């Protein structure tokens, strides 16, 4: 990890540790909500930013994780059983959803995952015997950890922060491994990656499955955070918002989800002073960001570095041309 990245990580962790105790309950709730979406978009960033696939079905996995924990808790089964079951279930479904990616690419794959999200949402809304339908499931409790009750907002926040750091470390290790390099090669040039021995089919399926696991874990944490779930948070619109978070933060940048989720979750709250206009202001800000920074906010250092290198190269060419002209003048 580069020194700048280490400094950025340390700064983010310090802010997340120090700020919440100074906030009121709603502020702590927002920070926890932010962490949940960091986890969800970390998985989507792997699928989009590193494996180069287009997915608009991430909210479906988010919902599957949430409903898995909620339904099991409703039947008296512990959160600590529901959480791994949500992850395993999303991994298996992610493998199945990944199969269309073996046959269709780019915008066609996006439409396929969009259809999957719609189908899952319809099940959540219509199968009342399982999901409660539009009435949802309430009374979702928060777990206890080693005898410590996580019922308060602050204690649950620190629990979610710990999960976020663990999952972030696992993803960082994955991306530094040969698997991570294979994902990047698959994104940059699938034909060349296959010629180098990378199994395009296997790694495409893995990208979807691992991304789905992160969404499922985030959904399980979300269910215990809000205490009540119904189909509305898991629509195609939510998938598009998650996709937007990844793009805004910087697709393919490790810390992109942190910044992107902050824009998607915290910025609308800060803009509520605009009252009825806040969604218009938020949408306009997003459009301007995309026009100015199509590669996301974390591409700013790279753009500055590229401009500096361009200026240095221009200066070097000018100096070389001046030296050549001076040499020719001396000879004549």
pLDDT digits (tens, 9 = 90+) for 184-198: 887 777 778 777 777
Q: What values do phi and psi take at 137, rounded to 5? A: -125, 125
Cα angle: 281, vertex 284, 285; to 5 degrees: 85
Are 41 and 261 a contacting pair, CB within 8 Å?
yes
Alpha-carbon torsion (18, 65, 137, 140), positive or negative: negative
pLDDT, position 200: 77
The residues with which 138 forms a beta bridge, in sequence order, are 228
pLDDT, position 87: 96
Q: What is the mean pLDDT of residues 275-292?
A: 76
pLDDT, position 329: 67
pLDDT at residue 272 tops 80: no
CA distance 177 to 9: 20
CA distance 148 to 162: 14
pLDDT digits (tens, 9 = 90+) for 58-94: 999 999 999 999 999 999 999 999 999 999 999 999 9
Ranked by mean pLDDT, the top range of 105-109, 218-222, 250-254 is: 218-222
**Residue 169 pLDDT level (bands cut at 50, 70, 90):** very high
Q: What is the mean pLDDT of residues 216-225?
A: 97
Residue ranges with strand state E in the chain: 137-138, 144-145, 148-149, 228-229
CA distance 40 to 233: 13
Please indicate whether residue 318 or residue 93 has the higher confidence score (pLDDT): 93
Angle between helices 153-176 and 178-188 (to 10 degrees): 80
* Among 210, 273, 159, residue whose Cα is nearest residue 45: 210
């Amino acid at each position: 990890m580069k020194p700048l990245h280490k400094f950025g990580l340390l700064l983010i962790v310090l802010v997340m540790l120090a700020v919440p105790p100074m906030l009121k309950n709603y502020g702590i709730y927002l920070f926890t909500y932010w962490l949940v979406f960091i986890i969800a978009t970390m998985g989507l960033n792997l699928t989009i930013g590193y494996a180069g696939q287009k997915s608009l079905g991430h909210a479906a996995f988010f919902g599957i994780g949430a409903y898995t924990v909620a339904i099991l808790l409703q039947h008296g089964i512990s959160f600590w059983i529901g959480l791994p079951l949500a992850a395993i279930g999303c991994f298996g479904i992610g493998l199945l959803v990944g199969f269309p990616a073996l046959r269709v690419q780019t915008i066609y794959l996006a439409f396929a995952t969009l259809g999957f999200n719609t189908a899952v949402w319809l099940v959540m809304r219509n199968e009342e015997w399982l999901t409660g339908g539009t009435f949802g499931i309430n009374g979702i409790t928060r777990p206890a950890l080693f005898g410590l009750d996580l019922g308060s907002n602050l204690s649950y926040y620190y629990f979610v922060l710990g999960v976020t750091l663990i999952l972030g470390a696992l993803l960082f290790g994955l991306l530094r491994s040969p698997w991570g390099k294979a994902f990047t090669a698959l994104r940059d040039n699938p034909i060349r990656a296959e010629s180098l021995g990378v199994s395009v089919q296997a790694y495409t399926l893995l990208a979807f499955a691992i991304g789905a696991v992160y969404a499922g874990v985030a959904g399980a944490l979300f269910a215990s955070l809000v205490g009540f779930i119904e189909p509305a948070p898991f629509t195609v619109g939510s998938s598009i918002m998650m996709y937007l978070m990844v793009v805004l933060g910087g697709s393919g940048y490790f810390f992109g989800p942190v910044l992107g989720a902050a824009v998607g979750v915290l910025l609308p709250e800060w803009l509520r002073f605009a009252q009825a206009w806040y969604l218009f202001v938020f949408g306009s800000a997003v459009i301007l960001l995309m026009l100015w920074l199509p590669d996301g906010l974390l591409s700013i250092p790279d753009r500055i570095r590229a401009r500096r290198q361009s200026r240095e190269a221009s200066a070097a060419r000018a100096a070389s041309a001046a030296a050549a002209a001076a040499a020719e003048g001396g000879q004549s």
